[in-house]
């Protein structure tokens, strides 16, 4: 591919400006993302005294445990995680996502072994720092804007990196170590970015579903195209036929265990006398094994069952990239995300060092663009497409254009005043 040198300078200018503004946020994202990968390692020893108990004879019934859990928490539990080990405390759950709260019951003594409130955990704070800068909705939008510009940084960086005068091993695929510090750090930034570009795009795709604007638009597209979860997945419209006594938790748990579902199996309790029991399994390492099955709370018969093939293609893709983003596909995925987090940190720091080594006192050192350069239709089309896909990026472009227009007007006014 023959490069347009004027276009290369223009893209380099905007890669430079966007990178300089985004760099502190990108560093924060890479560091907090790397820390969050150690969530299980960090929380397991700290929560062990709550989640694990001493085996002492025969466990009491699940129904009795639920009563004890219900009496010990202000919010009535809506689900129970089915234990698969004898030394495991029974987890009763209320709320979802950031509002999730769990109370753990010792199945032998009936005592509360402890509670875990998601919002109060250290790793929840790390996740909130990673996703919203601990600033709520405003922080989420800032992170979404930075992530949108990261896509632009990757695309412009690839073009600027692309060799214009033939391919060479040093300087394009491995850093030059004998040509000074500035060259070394420039190469370290550019080459690391090249090798990680595809992965970074995939990781960003896994983060965008959590954002406010893009995420909400994506949900609307899923709804319009009917490519999300089937309407029966949550079971809100399903009803049990009232007849006699409802099944006990122990009876329903036996039916759930008979399904032999992999991963973490949760039994969701009926909401009211017409509600249904629902059984689901969380198994991020094998998404295709996930199911959601709804039972009549009186007869115990299956009303409807959904598995992965019933989930729409956009939701399946969304769940895949989100699981990949969090390193949930096994050890290889975890290590890959950790390497990317370290690589992104090194790439950002090397870019900063390279900039400081080339920067002169008193000036920002923004790359110059030939005054004769005009943006072509291809670039304009690309910007428009990116603005539609990433609305916050589009808004930032409009703001930049307005600032540029005002700056040029002021420049013309100064010239006019100086010549009059």
Q: What is the DSSP letter of 248?
A: P
Domain CATH code at residue 251? 3.10.450
DSSP annotation string for 18-47: HHHHHHHHHHHHHHHHHHHTTHHHHHHHHH
Residue 290 contacts residue 283 (beta carbons within 8 Å):
yes
User: Comparing C-alpha atoms, which of 104, 182, 232, 141 is closest to residue 358?
Assistant: 182
Residue 371 predicted with pLDDT over 80: no
Does residue 176 form part of some domain? yes
The answer on 237 and 199 residing in a single domain is: no
Give mean pLDDT, residues 178-206: 92
- What is the signed CA dihedral for 196, 198, 203, 206, rounded to 10 degrees? 180
Residue 118 predicted with pLDDT over 60: yes
Residue 190 predicted with pLDDT over 80: yes
Does residue 28 form part of some domain? no
The answer on 215 and 245 residing in a single domain is: no
329 CB contacts (<8 Å, ≥6 apart)?
284, 285, 323
**According to the model, what pLDDT value does residue 1 have?**
55
The answer on 218 and 234 residing in a single domain is: no
Residue 344 predicted with pLDDT over 60: yes
- Helix (H) or strand (E) run with residue 109 in it: none
The answer on 391 and 348 residing in a single domain is: no
**pLDDT-derived band at 209, boundaries 50, 70, 90:** very high
Give mean pLDDT, residues 242-256: 94
Does residue 160 form part of some domain? yes
- Rounded to the nearest 5 percent, the helix, strand and coil shares of the chain are 60, 10, 30
The answer on 11 and 132 residing in a single domain is: yes
Q: How many domains does the chain have?
A: 3
To the nearest whole percent, how much of the chain has pLDDT over 70?
Answer: 98
- The number of residues making up the chain comes to 420
Residue 287 predicted with pLDDT over 60: yes
State the residue range of the domain holding 404: 377-419
**Residue 342 backbone dihedrals phi, psi, to 5 degrees:** -65, -45
Residue 164 predicted with pLDDT over 90: no
DSSP annotation string for 115-135: EEEGGGSHHHHHHHHHHHTTS
Residue 166 predicted with pLDDT over 70: no
291 CB contacts (<8 Å, ≥6 apart)?
259, 261, 279, 280, 281, 305, 306, 307, 308
**According to the model, what pLDDT value does residue 226 have?**
94
Give mean pLDDT, residues 63-81: 92
Bridge partners for 305 per DSSP: 293
**Mean pLDDT, the chain, whole residue set:** 92
**According to the model, what pLDDT value does residue 155 have?**
93
The answer on 215 and 169 residing in a single domain is: yes
Does residue 118 form part of some domain? no
Higher pLDDT, 372 or 33: 33
Distance between CA 239 and CA 368 in Å, rounded? 68
Give mean pLDDT, residues 270-285: 94
- What is the signed CA dihedral for 297, 267, 292, 276, rounded to 10 degrees? 20
Does residue 32 form part of some domain? no
Does residue 337 form part of some domain? yes
Give mean pLDDT, residues 8-13: 89
Q: Which two tokens stand for residue 399?
A: 């703001």
Distances (CA, A) of 272 to 16, 68, 238, 240, 277: 59, 20, 12, 10, 11
- What is the signed CA dihedral for 294, 99, 91, 80, rounded to 10 degrees? -10
Interior/surface letters 88-108, b for 16+ CB within 10 angstroms, e for the rest? bbbbbbbbeeeeebbbbbbbb
**According to the model, what pLDDT value does residue 2 have?**
66
Give mean pLDDT, residues 211-218: 95
The answer on 209 and 164 residing in a single domain is: yes
Does residue 135 form part of some domain? yes
**Residue 292 backbone dihedrals phi, psi, to 5 degrees:** -140, 115
**pLDDT-derived band at 77, boundaries 50, 70, 90:** very high
The answer on 276 and 217 residing in a single domain is: no
Residue 106 predicted with pLDDT over 70: yes
Give mean pLDDT, residues 321-333: 95
**According to the model, what pLDDT value does residue 347 have?**
94
Largest Cα–Cα distance in the chain?
A: 99
The answer on 201 and 131 residing in a single domain is: yes
Total Cβ atoms within 10 A of residue 175 = 19
**pLDDT-derived band at 149, boundaries 50, 70, 90:** very high
The answer on 352 and 207 residing in a single domain is: yes
The answer on 287 and 173 residing in a single domain is: no
The answer on 246 and 218 residing in a single domain is: no
**According to the model, what pLDDT value does residue 134 have?**
93
Give the global pTM: 0.90
Q: Which two tokens stand for residue 35?
A: 């820390």
Higher pLDDT, 164 or 200: 200
């Amino acid at each position: 591919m023959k490069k347009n040198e004027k276009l290369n300078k223009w893209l380099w200018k905007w890669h430079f400006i966007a990178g300089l503004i985004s760099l502190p946020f990108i560093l924060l994202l890479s560091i907090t993302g790397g820390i969050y990968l150690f969530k299980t390692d960090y929380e397991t020893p700290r929560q062990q005294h709550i989640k694990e108990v001493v085996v002492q004879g025969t466990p009491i019934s699940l129904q009795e445990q639920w009563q004890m859990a219900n009496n010990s928490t202000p919010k009535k539990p809506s689900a129970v995680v089915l234990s698969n080990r004898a030394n495991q405390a029974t987890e009763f759950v209320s709320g979802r996502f950031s509002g999730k709260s769990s109370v753990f019951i010792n199945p032998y003594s009936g005592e509360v072994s402890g509670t875990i409130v998601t919002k109060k955990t250290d790793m929840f704070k790390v996740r909130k720092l990673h996703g919203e800068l601990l600033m709520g909705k405003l922080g989420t939008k800032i992170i979404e804007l930075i992530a949108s510009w990261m896509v632009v940084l990757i695309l412009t960086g690839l073009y600027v990196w692309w060799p214009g005068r033939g391919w060479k091993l040093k300087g394009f695929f491995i850093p030059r170590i004998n040509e000074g510090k500035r060259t070394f750090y420039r190469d370290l930034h550019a080459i690391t970015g090249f090798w990680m570009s595809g992965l970074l795009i995939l990781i960003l795709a896994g983060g965008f579903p959590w954002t406010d604007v893009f995420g909400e638009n994506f949900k609307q597209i899923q709804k319009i195209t009917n490519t999300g979860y089937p309407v029966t997945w949550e079971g809100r419209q399903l009803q049990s036929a009232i007849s006699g006594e409802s099944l006990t938790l122990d009876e329903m748990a036996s039916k759930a265990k008979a399904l032999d579902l992999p991963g973490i199996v949760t039994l969701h309790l009926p909401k009211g006398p017409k509600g249904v029991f629902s059984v689901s399994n969380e198994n991020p390492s094998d998404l295709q094994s996930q199911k959601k099955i709804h039972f009549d709370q009186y007869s115990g018969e299956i009303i409807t069952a959904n598995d992965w093939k019933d989930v729409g293609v956009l939701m399946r893709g969304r769940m895949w990239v989100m699981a990949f983003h969090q390193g949930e596909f096994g050890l290889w995925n975890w290590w890959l995300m950790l390497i990317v987090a370290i690589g992104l940190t090194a790439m950002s720091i090397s870019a900063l060092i390279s900039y400081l080594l080339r920067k002169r006192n008193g000036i920002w050192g923004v790359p110059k663009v030939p005054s004769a350069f005009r943006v072509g239709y291809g670039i304009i089309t690309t910007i428009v497409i990116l603005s539609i896909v990433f609305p916050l990026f589009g808004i930032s472009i409009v703001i930049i254009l307005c600032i540029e227009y005002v700056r040029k007007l002021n420049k013309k006014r100064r010239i006019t005043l100086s010549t009059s």
